[in-house]
Amino acid sequence: MKARHLAFVWMALLLVVRAALASTTWQTAEITGDPLFFQQDKDGAIARALLLSVPKEVPAITSGSREISYAPGRDFVWIAGTREVRLVKGSRIPFKTWQELHPPPESPHAYKAFVGGSSWLLYSQGRFFHDLQSVAAYTAADSWDAPRIERAPDVQVKRIRARLTAKTPIRLVVLGDSISTGLNASATGNAPPMQDGYAGLVARGLEERYGAKVVLRNLSVSGKSTPWAIEQMPLVVAESPDLFICAFGMNDASGRRTAEEFSANIRRILDVLRAEVPQCDVVLVAPMSANPEWTGAAPELYPAYAEVLEKLAGPGVAVANVTTVWSAILQRKAVLDLTGNGLNHPNDFGHRIYADVILDTIGR
């Protein structure tokens, strides 16, 4: 009986992941996996979080792993007609106080970088934040002005679309930083629902949309930026990719690389690819933004990077503008709802945003 129950749980988790791949994360009316990081007010009165949309009825809320179902009234209260969810006394849902989010120096799970104070920021890799976050499922009642990703003009991804439509197997090469390695997706933390990072979601999404075999080679390495990427181009060329996803910006911004320098480095990458693998189409990915309380964040550079990347779009080159979507969602969600490590990595929902932006850019 126990084995049968576990099999049922894992099948349910698989269906959740497949459902996430089937629709655009932030535009669908049937929202699943809406992440909630409950934070207590500074006065300690209420722990609350905001949903992405206003539900038609009380949302179903579970742990990030989907293994614990929380009960309305016992664990939380939804403020009807709003996006606000509050915890009740004795709730089983995890939350953090302001002081816990800004711990003393040298505290466990803390990072030495907090703008405007001597305390540190709560931080951790692995599944730490995943286990602190809850997720909600519901039918949205509102229709907020969600950003829509336009299908890239055919001239930008004509060759890869033709191959996919013909169901010809393709080689997908991804080059990026820790975000592109998949860090803080639940699979990398060995936590249910075991969702891949965005690179794996893109590969699977293309296979499901087109029925073509996608062979993924992920050359990404944590902590890297565009100068390193230029040095890796011989490895990219050696893979003879049909589609190349190039995703940098987070570490470039932390290093305060100007938008002009960033653009020049990406141009060098494109020049190598055009000369050595002219049949390959490219998707340049504009990055998410980091926690603005982190000293490594550079809020002014993320949109500047997105702008210069858009100017590089053209024949064989499309841009997946994650920056714009991320910024819009942050108007409705807290940074800690979307983070996987407290600073600069996406959680499962964030990786789904990346994947959906890329997939919608390539189109159906």
Q: 17 in a domain, yes or no? A: no
Q: Torsion over CA of 301, 304, 308 and 309, rounded to 10 degrees?
A: 70
Average pLDDT, the chain: 92
DSSP H or E segment with residue 122? strand 121-122
- Tell me, yes or no, whether 259 lies in a domain: yes
pLDDT higher than 50, residue 8: no
What pLDDT, in 10s, does the model give residues 206-219?
A: 999 999 999 999 99
CA–CA dist 7, 100 (Å, integer) = 37
pLDDT-based confidence at 116, cuts 50/70/90? Answer: low
Write the pLDDT tens digit of every residue in 12-55: 444 344 444 445 788 889 999 999 999 998 888 899 999 999 99
Supply φ then ψ for residue 111, to 5 degrees: -125, 135
Report the share of the chain in percent with pLDDT over 70: 93
Residue 105 CA to residue 120 CA, distance in Å, equals 6
pLDDT for res 6: 39
Residue 77, strand partner residues: 86
Among 6-10, 53-57, 134-138, 153-157, where is mean pLDDT lowest?
6-10
In a domain, 176, yes or no: yes
What is the distance of C-alpha 48 from the center of its chain?
22
Q: Which domain holds residue 83?
A: 26-139
Whether residue 105 is found in the same domain as residue 233 = no
349 falls within a domain: yes
Confidence band for 113, pLDDT divided at 50, 70 and 90: confident
Adjacent-strand bridge partners of 339: 346
Task: For residue 137, list its beta bridge partners.
Answer: 60
- pTM of the predicted protein model: 0.93
The reply to whether 96 and 119 lie within a common domain is yes
Give residue-wise pLDDT tens across range 167-203.
999 999 999 999 999 999 999 999 999 999 999 999 9
- Residue 37 and residue 126 in one domain: yes
Q: Do residue 119 and residue 246 come from a single domain?
A: no
Are 156 and 318 contacting, i.e. CB atoms less than 8 angstroms apart? Answer: yes
Q: Is residue 144 part of a domain?
A: no
Residues 114 and 204 in one domain: no
Taking residues 247-257, what's their average pLDDT? Answer: 98
Taking a C-beta distance cutoff of 8 angstroms, is the pair 66, 16 a contact? yes
Residues 180 and 125 placed together within one structural domain of the fold: no
Residues 238 and 210 in one domain: yes
Segments in the chain forming alpha helices (H): 2-22, 98-101, 128-132, 154-165, 178-181, 198-210, 226-231, 233-238, 250-254, 259-276, 301-312, 322-329, 335-338, 348-362
Name the domain boundary from 82, 108, 139. Answer: 139
Residues 127 and 165 in one domain: no
Is 148 part of any domain? no
In a domain? residue 307: yes
**Do 217 and 286 have their domain in common?**
yes
Which residues make Cβ contacts (< 8 Å) with residue 326, sequence separation at least 6?
A: 288, 289, 338, 350, 353
Q: Verify that 238 and 287 share a domain, yes or no.
A: yes
User: Which CATH number goes with the domain that contains 294?
Assistant: 3.40.50.1110
DSSP secondary structure of 263-312: HHHHHHHHHHHHHH-TT-EEEEEEPP---TTSTT--TTHHHHHHHHHHHH
Percent of the chain having pLDDT more than 90? 85
Instruction: Choose one of 139, 172, 200: the last residue of a domain.
Output: 139
Band the pLDDT of 346: cuts 50, 70, 90.
very high
List, for residues 278-331, the tens digit of each pLDDT value.
999 999 999 999 999 999 999 999 999 999 999 999 999 999 999 999 999 999
Residue 3 domain flag: no
Are the CB atoms for 213 and 283 separated by under 8 Å?
Answer: no
- Specify whether 92 is located in the same domain as 171: no
Kindly state whether residues 198 and 326 are assigned to the same domain: yes
What is the number of structural domains in the chain? Answer: 2
Instruction: Tell me: cis bond preceding 103? Omega within 30 of 0 counts.
Output: no
Other CB atoms within a 10 A radius of the CB of residue 269 amount to 22
Q: How many residues does the chain have?
A: 364
* Cβ atoms < 10 Å from Cβ of 208: 14
Amino acid at 293: E
